[in-house]
């Protein structure tokens, strides 16, 4: 029978993360201090991040060693399986080969633990005993609470109000691992109180929750801040996904023509594709596709320029595609992928043409998620269902062109905590939204007066 799963032993867990900065033709413009507008240095970041992570953020070294204690924890679920999607190929009636890297086998059910564990580790090494963070759909908050538990640290999670109300079981998971979780905007911070004063019914946003967590970290000596996506060091930690996938594809005798990932802040996408990017930059014929929601179309419709990472304008100015730091996604949008900005590295790659971006409506993504669940067994999280939609487009394109492609995508998490969204889809009650132009006009106004890209 045809082989379906490609497994690696614990010994095959990579010993280094791969830093794409070493191989890119050009780098994105640097982050700026939100107060002075000057490029930030390590001292600007040290109140909220440990030096071990700051060094990774600015490193130009190609390989950055993974500490042994982190590898030991990775071995709880890594290496993750690479699957040949035999069931989906049959359901689509395609001669394309479809592979997926499955990150849903991690304790919290997504790729997020790949970075929460090293982030907790480097903080603990420098004597930090408590971390503060934000979470949207809850995948990052649960991943960080898991990591903090392993290193015997406290953890406080500011969870976007819309998700806090809609996803009680992600909250329970965070509590099971011993962390504290509050709805954001919360009365616990100045940033939260300001928002609540202006709008007591605010459903929150990642931008707001980041402001709360950063304030928490900046105002307590025992606490630092942890971010689940966007920054260079976070994307760096995720590169183990693509490195393992390369090895597993070699076992399968396959060479990918197309790579696909979904994007919110960009980390699972970057984790899969960065280890293939040097080949592409050197001229190899690989298409790389980033799939995002039409309700939060950062890459396809956002402004490319400097913007604040958070709503309260306390986080650095980043060079990125953005919908404006005041952006509040529609509460009916079911999955994650709703940050107003994007990882500067990913924005830069889209800007320079190495990566294509596409936006999809949530119901067309759920249609693919249900087809996938029925063909492959695994129920995908809403986020990678955007990648699935792009994969099926690639299959259709290959059929039209009469070619056979090898496609690899990142199934970055399972949907066990998203069944309410499946219910809405199956009951015909799922509503699609596209971002109104008026929102983009508001964003453009917000960005006026901010530094221009060099």
Residue 426 binds its own copies, judged by CB under 8 A? yes
Query: Is residue 177 a contact point for its own copies (CB under 8 A)?
Result: yes
Q: Is 422 in the site for its own copies (CB under 8 A)?
A: yes
> What phi-psi label fits residue 204: left (phi over 0), alpha (psi between -120 and 50 degrees) or beta?
left
The set of residues, in sequence order, having a beta carbon less than 8 Å from that of 52 and lying 6+ positions away, is 122, 125, 126
Q: How many CB atoms lie within 10 A of CB 63?
A: 13
Q: Which residue has the tokens 């076992």?
A: 251
Packing angle of the helix pair 168-176, 139-150 (nearest 10 deg): 10
Q: Does 250 bind its own copies (CB under 8 A)?
A: no
Residue 54 CB, nearest distance to its own copies (Å)?
27
The size of the chain, in residues, is 454
* CB proximity list for 210: less than 8 A, separation 6 or greater: 134, 227, 309, 310, 311, 315
> Shortest Cβ distance from residue 341 to its own copies (Å)?
30
Please report, in angstroms and rounded to a whole number, the separation of the first and last CA atoms in the chain.
Answer: 56
90 belongs to the binding site for its own copies (CB under 8 A):
no
Interface with its own copies (CB under 8 A), residue from 55, 59, 62, 77: 77
CB of 421 to its own copies, least distance (A): 9
Q: Which token pair is 197?
A: 């004063």
Q: Least separation, in Å, of the C-beta of 55 and its own copies?
A: 24
9 binding its own copies? (CB under 8 A): yes
Q: Does 175 bind its own copies (CB under 8 A)?
A: yes
3-state secondary structure of 45: helix
> Can you count the helices (H) and strands (E) in the chain?
18, 15
Q: 54 or 181, CB closer to its own copies?
A: 181
Do residues 447 and 322 lie in contact, with contact meaning Cβ atoms separated by under 8 Å? yes
Would you say 157 or 290 has its CB closer to its own copies? Answer: 157
| One of 22, 250, 403, 420 touching its own copies (CB under 8 A) | 420
Cβ–Cβ contacts within 10 Å for residue 200, how many? 8
| Smallest separation (angstroms) from its own copies to the CB of 177 | 6
The DSSP code sequence of 229-272 is SSSHHHHHHHHHHHHHHHHHHHHTT---SEEEEE-SSSHHHHHH
Q: Is 158 in the site for its own copies (CB under 8 A)?
A: no
| 337 token code pair | 């992928």
Closest CA to 158 of 195, 122, 124: 195
Span near its own copies by CB under 8 A; candidates 15-23, 48-56, 64-72, 131-139 = 64-72
- Closest to its own copies by CB, 72 vs 445, is 72
In the stretch 185-224, what mask flags binding to its own copies with x, by CB under 8 A? ----------------------------------------
Stretch that binds its own copies, among 143-151, 197-205, 286-294, 440-448 (CB under 8 A): 143-151
**Residue in 379, 381, 388, 407 binding its own copies, rule: CB under 8 A:** 379
Q: Which parts of this chain interact with its own copies (CB under 8 A)?
A: 1-5, 7, 9-10, 68, 71-72, 75-77, 87, 105-107, 109, 146, 149-150, 168-169, 172-173, 175-178, 370, 373-374, 376-379, 416-417, 419-420, 422-423, 426
């Amino acid at each position: 029978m045809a082989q379906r799963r490609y497994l690696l032993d614990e010994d095959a867990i990579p010993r280094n993360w791969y830093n794409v900065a070493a191989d890119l033709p050009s780098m994105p413009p640097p982050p700026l201090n939100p107060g002075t507008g000057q490029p930030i240095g390590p001292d600007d970041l040290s109140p909220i991040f440990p030096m071990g992570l700051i060094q990774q953020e600015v490193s130009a070294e190609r390989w950055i060693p993974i500490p042994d204690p982190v590898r030991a924890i990775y071995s709880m679920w890594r290496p993750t399986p690479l699957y040949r999607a035999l069931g989906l190929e049959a359901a689509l009636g395609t001669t394309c080969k479809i592979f997926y890297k499955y990150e849903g086998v991690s304790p919290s059910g997504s790729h997020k633990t790949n970075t929460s564990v090293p982030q907790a580790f480097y903080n603990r090494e420098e004597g930090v005993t408590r971390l503060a963070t934000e979470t949207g759909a809850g995948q990052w908050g649960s991943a960080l609470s898991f990591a903090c538990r392993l290193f015997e640290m406290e953890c406080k999670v500011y969870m976007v109000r819309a998700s806090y109300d809609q996803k009680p079981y992600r909250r329970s998971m965070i509590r099971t691992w011993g962390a504290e979780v509050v709805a954001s905007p919360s009365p616990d911070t100045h940033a939260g109180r300001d928002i609540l004063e202006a709008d007591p019914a605010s459903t929150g946003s990642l931008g707001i929750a980041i402001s709360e967590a950063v304030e928490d970290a900046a105002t307590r000596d025992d606490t630092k801040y942890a971010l689940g996506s966007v920054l260079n060091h976070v994307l760096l930690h995720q590169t183990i996904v693509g490195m393992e996938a390369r090895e597993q594809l070699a076992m399968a005798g396959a060479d990918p023509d197309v790579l696909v990932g979904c994007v919110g802040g960009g980390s699972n996408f970057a984790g899969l594709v960065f280890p293939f990017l040097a080949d592409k930059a050197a001229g190899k014929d690989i298409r790389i596709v980033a799939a995002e929601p039409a309700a939060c179309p950062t890459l396809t419709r956002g402004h490319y320029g400097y913007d604040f990472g958070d709503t309260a304008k306390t986080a650095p100015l980043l060079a990125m595609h953005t919908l404006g730091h005041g952006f509040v996604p529609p509460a009916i949008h079911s999955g994650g992928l709703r940050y107003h900005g994007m990882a500067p590295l990913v924005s830069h790659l889209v800007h320079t043409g190495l990566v294509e971006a596409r936006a999809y409506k949530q119901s067309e993504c759920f249609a693919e998620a249900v087809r996938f669940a029925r063909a492959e067994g695994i129920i995908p999280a809403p986020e990678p269902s955007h990648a699935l939609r792009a994969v099926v487009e690639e299959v259709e394109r290959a059929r039209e062109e009469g070619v056979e492609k090898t496609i690899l995508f990142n199934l970055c998490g399972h949907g066990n905590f998203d069944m309410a969204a499946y219910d809405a889809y199956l009951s015909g009650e799922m509503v699609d939204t596209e971002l109104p132009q008026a929102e983009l006009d508001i964003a453009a106004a917000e960005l006026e007066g901010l530094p221009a890209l060099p």
